[in-house]
Chains A and B, each alone.
Chain A
Amino acid sequence: MSEFSTKGYLDMELLRFTTAGSVDDGKSTLIGRLLYDSKSIFEDQLESVQRASVKKGSEYLDLALLTDGLRSEREQGITIDVAYRYFATPKRKFIIADTPGHIQYTRNMVTGASTANAALILIDARKGVIEQTLRHSYIASLLQIPHLIVCVNKMDLVDYSQEKYNEIVADYLGFANKLGIKDCQFVPISALKGDNVVIESKVMDWYNGDTLLSTLEKTPIIRDYNHNHGRFPVQYILRSELDNHTNYKGYAGKAVAGIFEKGDEVKVYPSKITTKIQSIHFHKDEMTTAFAPMSVSMTLDDDLDIHRGDIIVKENNNNIKEGKNVEMMMCWMNEKPMLLNGNYTVRHNVKETTCSIKDIIYKVNINTFEKDLKDKIIKLNDIVKVEIATKDTLFYDSYNDNHHTGSLILIDEETNETVGVGMII
């Protein structure tokens, strides 16, 4: 890892990706292999895996043990919760959101997908495209992850057969087209033996593409941020007396989209008053521009009554939508079923209000992707289209245009748990 000169390090890009697989398709082994072959595993971690492998009676070094965090996971041999892993090559720094593949853990997959630039979909070469593959891909498309990388794993168990691989690729592509998945790449691998993960396979000479790691290094990072629609939700009001005894009132927050410049005309919602950006600061630095995903604080020309949850918008581009009745795709995240007409706290970016579920329009049959118009019982892991009615007006974009102003969560008012997550249409 000595390549990390200080200078090079400051130029590195960040790629966040999520992994989804089914039980036993070797996802933990793949991540272990990626970390191991990219030399991101330290000696003490390796020793601990060696000890655990012997204890389990495993013949080879069980790389899957690297990623099991909790005792019950090691005992049951399954992954329970999203785990985050970090590794870097001289080109990029990577954050993996490792999500469990069991049917009942759709909510974890949705969670991992929400911040990802890319998704790895694992297919067991012996089994081909199965129901869970489809489900994972559907979630990746629902959450609009920009890039999919399909790893056809366990190639060693199908004699590294090119025919088998091509069959799976064709199968998958037919389905991906239906879901509108545009960017998807395929890599034949054996996580167990290490073929095409970091090191090129010596056996699969029929494959001329990149290894998984180089694919990850080359994936163009299309940020969630679009630089066209200026959106700055006010997170926190900073007030203080400055050293020169003038009063400072800054609107602190994160630019979630667009480019803001000093002197720009902006409109503040919900008051809809137009004013200009007087200054942009971060700490002691005054800057001329702020853009996504920077956290800064702004002052405005006019002294307005602005609160947390208001949003500063650059009006010269796309208009923000407004309304109290909003339609969205929603994933239900809690054991307690959704209550039609029940009240929930809604958090849309930093804005908080209350809402009720007005209408369950349809439920997605996650195996056939058909719309079920009759079933109104919405349980954990269900994906539905709903309409909610909010107490305060929401100012939003569609999730398609902006993941941050187009998403929201519902909170149970009794348990305070996050029970639903919505992507506004």
Chain B
Amino acid sequence: MEQYKINHLRELESEAVYIMREVASQFDNMSLLFSGGKDSIVMVHLAEKAFYPAKIPFTLVHIDTGHNFDETIVFRDKLVERLGSKLVVGSVQKSIDEGKVSEETGYYASRNIAQTTTLLSALEENNFDVALGGGRRDEEKARAKERFFSHRDEFGQWDPKNQRPELWNIYNGKKNKGEHFRVFPLSNWTEMDVWQYIFMENIDIPSLYYTHERDVFLRDGVYIAVAPFMKLKPIEKVERLKVRCRTIGDITNTGLTLSTANNLEDIIKEIAATRVTERGDRADDKRSESAMEDRKKEGYF
């Protein structure tokens, strides 16, 4: 029976494909949240595999904070063109202009929290009844409590204390009008699994993940990219260094790693040796002990 065994990455792949096919069977108007980061790129790759030779049945949704790395947008547009799928861009700038959220000010100003409002409006305006996300349970402790099929009430809110039990491989996506689901096919993947899978499947990822020279400055022990909208404190100095992104988010939240890794194998070695979590450099999670939980309850990714 030895030959009828698959390795754990293939098992996780099969699980994610199964979840995506469940979504396509149980929902009507489906979206896939695409940030341009590696997890959402893996999600698109899995969706292609799940539905081939048909096109992926999901509309890609990008919540654009307006503070992106240019490379992310270029990568996104090329991917959408290749897939021939629909793209909806929810603009945080537009939400600010319409007065739905207010812009934070000061050195630590971020549009991270504002994104939730834009995300919920984008889902509502397009009548999406489900949004697939690349969130993983190993990322953060509130995420560790998340279901594969996560119910959201009509206000888009998550009730962590009243989640539906999820057993075997049966997923209950039933809902009333106005409610929606967030679905996380990568729930059981770890950061290492994602990188090994990218390597195994030879998936194209943005150049930001590889080493490159960039103007950066050090803030609270973390290197951040210099950008026109970033306010530097008087003591903060701009340096040009060899860095790469371990995660890709909005520029204001993305900590850069000093690295010379220019291929996937080197990245994997670097991740294996690291002693800080992937989100350890994410300013958005550092705000408080329950920063993620609070944002998730409101309807965050």
Given the complex of chains A and B, what is the CA–CA distance between A287 and B188 in angstroms? 26
Given A227-B1, A238-B53, do A294 and B6 touch, yes or no (CB 8 Å)?
yes
Given the complex of chains A and B, what is the CA–CA distance between A333 and B54 in angstroms? 38
The answer to the question of A235 belonging to the interface, with a C-beta cut-off of 8 Å to chain B, is yes
Interface residues of A in 97-126 (CB under 8 A from B): 107-108, 110-111, 114-115
Given the complex of chains A and B, what is the CA–CA distance between A3 and B268 in angstroms? 11
A295 adjacent to B17 (CB under 8 Å)? yes
Query: Which residues from chain A contact B51 at a C-beta distance below 8 Å?
Result: 238
Query: Which residues from chain B contact A10 at a C-beta distance below 8 Å?
Result: 7, 9, 196, 200
Query: Which residues from chain A contact B274 at a C-beta distance below 8 Å?
Result: 42
The answer to the question of B168 belonging to the interface, with a C-beta cut-off of 8 Å to chain A, is yes
Given A4-B272, A239-B54, A293-B6, do A80 and B174 touch, yes or no (CB 8 Å)?
no
Given the complex of chains A and B, what is the CA–CA distance between A66 and B188 in angstroms? 18
CB distance from A119 to the nearest CB of B (A): 15
A293 adjacent to B174 (CB under 8 Å)? no
A407 adjacent to B168 (CB under 8 Å)? yes
- 8 A–B contacts from the bound complex (CB under 8 Å): A52-B289, A68-B141, A70-B160, A84-B187, A88-B192, A115-B167, A403-B168, A418-B165
Given the complex of chains A and B, what is the CA–CA distance between A240 and B52 in angstroms? 8
Interface residues of A (CB under 8 A from B): 1-4, 6, 9-14, 42-45, 48, 52, 67-72, 74, 80-86, 88, 93, 95, 107-108, 110-111, 114-115, 227, 235-236, 238-243, 248, 252-254, 256, 259, 281-284, 289, 291, 293-295, 308, 333, 345, 347, 349-350, 403-404, 407-409, 411, 416-418, 421
Interface residues of B in 50-85 (CB under 8 A from A): 50-55
Given the complex of chains A and B, what is the CA–CA distance between A72 and B200 in angstroms? 40
- Flag B255-275 by CB within 8 Å of A: 1 or 0 each: 000000000010011001111
Given the complex of chains A and B, what is the CA–CA distance between A239 and B168 in angstroms? 28
Interface residues of B (CB under 8 A from A): 1, 4, 6-15, 17-18, 21-22, 24-25, 48-55, 137-138, 141-142, 144-145, 160-161, 163-170, 172, 174-176, 187-188, 190, 192-193, 196, 199-200, 265, 268-269, 272-277, 280, 289-290, 293
Given the complex of chains A and B, what is the CA–CA distance between A209 and B267 in angstroms? 39
Given A14-B8, A81-B145, A238-B53, do A6 and B268 touch, yes or no (CB 8 Å)?
yes
B142 adjacent to A70 (CB under 8 Å)? yes
Given the complex of chains A and B, what is the CA–CA distance between A409 and B10 in angstroms? 27
